[in-house]
Structures are given as structure tokens and as C-alpha cells.
Amino acid sequence: MQTEETRSLPENAYAPLKPGETYEPLVSARQAPAEFTARAVFWGLLLCVIFTVASAYSTLKVGQGMETAIPISILSIGLARMYKRRSTVLENVIMTGFGGVGGAVVAGATFTLPALYILKLDPHPFQTVLIAIAGGCLGTLLLIPLRRYFVKETHGQLPYPEATAITEVLVTGERGGSQARLLLQATAIAGVYDFLVTTFHVWKENIDFLFTSPLKRLPTEAKVVFNFDAIGFILGLGYVMGLRSSMILCAGGFLANFALVPLIWLIGSQLQDVAVYPATVPISQMTASQIFRGYVRFIGVGAIATAGIFGILKSLKVLSGSLSIAFRAFQGGAVASERTDRDMSLMKVLIGVILCAVSIAAILGSLSAPVMAVTAGVALVMMFSFFFTSVGANAIATTARNPVSGMTMLTIIISSLVLLNFGVSGRTGMFFVMAIAGLVCTALSVAGQAATDFKAGYWIGSTPEAQQKARLLGGVASAIAVSLTLVMLAQTFQFGEAVPGDNRVVLASPQASIMKALVEGFMSRQPVAWLLLACGGVIAVIMEMLGVPALIFALGMYLPLELNSPALVGGVLSHFINKRADREGGVSGRSMRERGVIIASGLMAGGALGGVIGAALRLIPSYSEDWVKTPFYDNDPISQIVSTVAFLALCWYTWAGSMKKEKAA
């Protein structure tokens, strides 16, 4: 049996291919090292379940889950050295895939299923398990026909920030040497930095400069607030995204926060005692953040949905080509594909999708709804899951962020309208809609993360079929783990808000609380904010007419500005470092580019690790952010200035670390 060579990724790994050029992965198709082994499956499943349980509790408590794929990629390198035969890089890819699908299933389940408990609908454990399993498997299965489009046909066109970080961690850690030390150094710096900032009161994480005279009056007089989340993870994310993508992302955020929010306030401030739907309080009494959540975010949802339609249309040709190849292979008329391009057979995919559909019908049929309503429900799940698969994968490939909550909100809106026409309402209707939302949300979350997994495997040289088997197996294990965790926590805690007379501790479950409020409103036949959704759709059309990637712009409109603005700084750094590398040329220039990507990947990996450790600390009942608190933390001017200086120091470290090879040369 051959073993893979220990070397760097090819020069064209992150660049568009020239005419006639092909990409040769780190482990070529001609090699066949150990991959889907008992070792990889055992550790992958174990880490998947552990991170699933911890991430589920973290998401319910503070609304933020744990990043699982990147930390597990780091752990896999350490575990590889426990054995006499060191694990291959392909075995490490399989372990990382298990972890990634676990985090995705947690996101889909915890964003929706707790709403069933908040609504006092008392779901049976079997129902929650089946929803998570069916949604998770559906997300992976539906992306398989699109895999070639996202990882091969668009090679070099999408940045894949998270996949880049995972790949660099696995490859650099496997290779060792000075670059592995650089990766570990960047990971340690970002890990300590992000851990302290996000877990304790060391200095302000979010910078708004409202203590300065020019900006102090803007929030009250114009509802304009600039927010900046000064952490290493987003800096590294923006670096990998690059200048163009990060600028488009921020442009959407600027339109939403600096144009739409002030405009809505200017018009609505004249209505002193009237609340304009969908908000519940008068605009004159709302803050900039409330206007964004109550109105502008719906415009963002409409823009994302419309951009998703464009994405589907663009990928139809490749999808039909992939399906035709699969059909020919099934009929025995096609030559077997090489190892690095071999997917699960079409028949297995179809059988899997059919089994998911049957499971969905069983879930919805158990709710005593009319047969036509059950049929419509199954059709809605399959339609939304297929449609949003491309949206989620594209979003993850571009910004490493999946708009699951926005797409789930849209699912709830449309599903409620359809089911009301079938006479399904009240408690049954709420359960019905939330089951659909849980299935779609989980499928979308898993599909988006699958794009990351498949792309990392493509760069390294994994067998797609092995990755897909690992994802399905990990999805089932994670679904069972997260569902049983929800059942156990529901016995001990309250989800959402405290109920009078119930003395149990409250887990805020912020995303599920939003979904609960939305489904209650629509089942009560409240009007739909179609005009806001349509405005977002028009903006997406305009972006396409201008040749701007509409989905990136739409994501910028939907996501909070503090998550977009640091990415732009990373993009600017990436631009100038790469320009310097181009001027330098040769070995020295290539070294600059490589070191820049390695440092950025380390910042993402360290930030993810810091978040995991911080989330784990929050599991301690006596935990308090005041465990570590600096004397100046509550002094906004000093605290924000310290935060700014510390963030600039991270930027300097990225620049200096990238230039270091040039000086040595």
C-alpha cells in the first residue's frame, strides 16, 4: 500500500485554473493510503458525540454553539501520533468530517426544536430524533449531486474560508517544520486572545466609539451605529475571503445599517403611538438595533432568497451534467471514475432521499393532520431543502456563514400560509410548521457544512464516497445525541422565558424563541411582511444586473454589522500582502502568500478553540464573566482603545509574520 507524500498544496490550490490546467491534490488519485478505517470512525464518532452534547447546551444557554470541525482537525493531528502507524492525512479528514456534521446538526436542531417545548407541545423523543436524523441525512444527500460544481467546476472562484483553515491545519500539521510552528503560534495567540475577550471582562469585544464627540449623537439623532467585533477569528476569516468578497459583504451591511435603518427611522419617527407591522412598538421608540431586527432583517431575508434562486439557476447545467453521469454509471455504461472524484452511487442517493421522505411523512402523519396536509408538508420539506442546499453551500463557500435562521424564517412563513389553506392551525398547526422548520433548518445547516468538508477533501485528495459515508454515519449519531440532550434538558430547565410558577432554571434558547414567536403569529393569521421581502428581492436583482455576487451582498444585509466590518480589515491585509508577494515574485513571494494563509488559518483555528473553551466554562453553574475583570473594563473610552490597539497588534502580527520569510531570503 502506498502512503501519501508529505508536502505542500499545489500552487494552484487557491487560484482559478488556466485553460487546459488541472488540479492535482496533495494525495493523488493514483495513491490509496488508509482512509475510512476503524480508527478514524471510532475517534470521529466519539468526538462528534462529545462536541454535539457540549455545543447543544452552549447554543441553548447563550445562543452561540461551538465550532466543531476546526478544533477536531487539530485534535486529529495529536491523535495521529498515539499509534505506532501514524494516521494518514486522509484519516484525519474523515475524523474532521464527523466533527463538522455534528456541529451542523446541532445548529439545525437547537435553532428550532426547543420551540416545541416552549409552546408546550410535548414532542415525543422519537419525533425529535427522527426530525434531526431525516434533516441531517437529507442535507448531505442533496448536496452530493452538486459536489462537483462547488468543489471542482468553481475551483479558485470561491474562497472557502473555513475549508481553507481546516486544510491548512491538516496539511501544515502533517508536514511539521517551521510552518507548523507558525500555525501553532498563530493558533495559540488567537486562542488566548479570543478566549479572554469573549469569555471574561478583559476589554470590550465590540467597538463602537460612541464615547467620542462626533459619534455620540448619531445613535439618537440618526439611528446610525458603527459596530466592530475585534476578535482574531473574524480577522482570519476576512483574510481568507479576500478583499473583493469582504468589501461586498460590508457593502450589504453598510446599506442596511447606514441607509435603510436611518431611512425607516426618519419616516416612522413621525408616528408617535402607532406600531407598524411586523414590529410591535412604535418606530419612534426603537433603537437602531431594534429597527434592524424588526424591519431591515426581513429585507435581508428576501434578498438571500432571491439570490438563492439565481444560484440555483447558475448551477442547473452542472447539476444536470452530474445527474447524467451518475445515471450512466448506474446503467453500467460509464467508466468508473478515479478515486478522488468518486461519489456514492445515484441509486444509494435516491434510496436515501426516499427513506428521508418516508420518515418525514411518518413524522407529519403522527400529528393527526389531513392526508393532503401531510403530502403538502413532505413536498414543502423536499422543495425547501433542495432549494436551500445550494444557498447554504454557496454562503459557506463565500463567507463561512450559513443564513440558517433567515431561511428557516422564510420556511415558517410560507409553510404557515400553505397549511392554513388546508385547515391546519392551532396547536397541531404549530407543531406541523415547527417540524417542517426543524427538518429544513437541519438540512440547510448540514448541506452548508458539507461544502466545507468536500472542498477540504478535494484539496487534500480524499475519496468523496468515504467522506459521504462518514457524514451520514456522523449525522445519525449526532442527531440521536442532540435529540436526547434536548429531552434531558427539557426535564431540568425551561426553554425561552420563565413561566410563572415554574422554578426551573431558564435556558434562553434565543433562536428557538424567535421561531416560536413567528409561528404563533402566523398560526394566528397575522399579515406577512411581503413588501419588505420583495424589497430585498429587488436589491438582489439589482446586484445581479451590476455583476455583483448577490448572495454575498445579501448576507451582508442580513448579518449584524459587527461581524462584517472586521472581515474587511482582513481582506485589506490580504490584498496588500499578496500585492507585495506579487512584486517580490519567485520563492520569496510564494512564501509570503503561504505564510499569510497559514497565519490567517491559525487565527481562525485559535478563535474556534477559544470559543470552545469559553463555551465549556459556561457549563459551570457558578460561571461569571467577572471571574477575570480588569479595572478599566467598565470605562468605555479606555476599554475600547485597549481593544482597538490589541486588534491592530493582531493585524501587525499577520503582516510581520507574512513578511518574515522575505527577510530571511
Give the pLDDT confidence score for residue 63 in this predicted structure. Answer: 57
Residues 6+ apart with CB under 8 A from 152: 23, 341, 458
The SS3 assignment for 44 reads helix
State residue 334's pLDDT score: 46
Q: Please choose, from the candidates 481, 491, 456, 494, the residue with its C-alpha nearest in 3D space to the C-alpha of residue 604.
A: 456
Strands (E), 465-576: 493-495, 505-507
Q: Which of 303, 308, 296, 301 is nearest to 259 (CA)?
A: 296
Q: Which residue has the cell 394566528?
A: 524
Residue 539 has a pLDDT of 94
Neighbours of 403 (CB within 10 A): 28
Is residue 471 within 8 A of residue 14, CB to CB? The reply is no
What is the C-alpha end-to-end distance of the chain, expressed in Å? 39
Residue 253's pLDDT is 92
Per-residue pLDDT, 649: 95
Q: How far apart are CA 239 and CA 241, in angstroms?
A: 5
The whole-number pLDDT of residue 584 equals: 84
Residues whose CB falls within 8 Å of the CB of residue 641, separated by 6 or more in sequence, listed in order: none
Mean pLDDT by 10 residues, the chain (665 residues): 54 82 85 87 87 73 64 78 82 88 84 82 85 91 85 83 84 69 84 88 88 79 86 85 88 93 89 78 88 87 79 65 55 61 85 92 83 88 84 79 75 83 78 87 88 90 91 91 82 70 65 73 69 90 89 83 88 91 80 82 78 73 86 91 94 91 44
DSSP SS3 for 224: coil
Q: Which parts of 430-556 are beta strand (E)? A: 493-495, 505-507
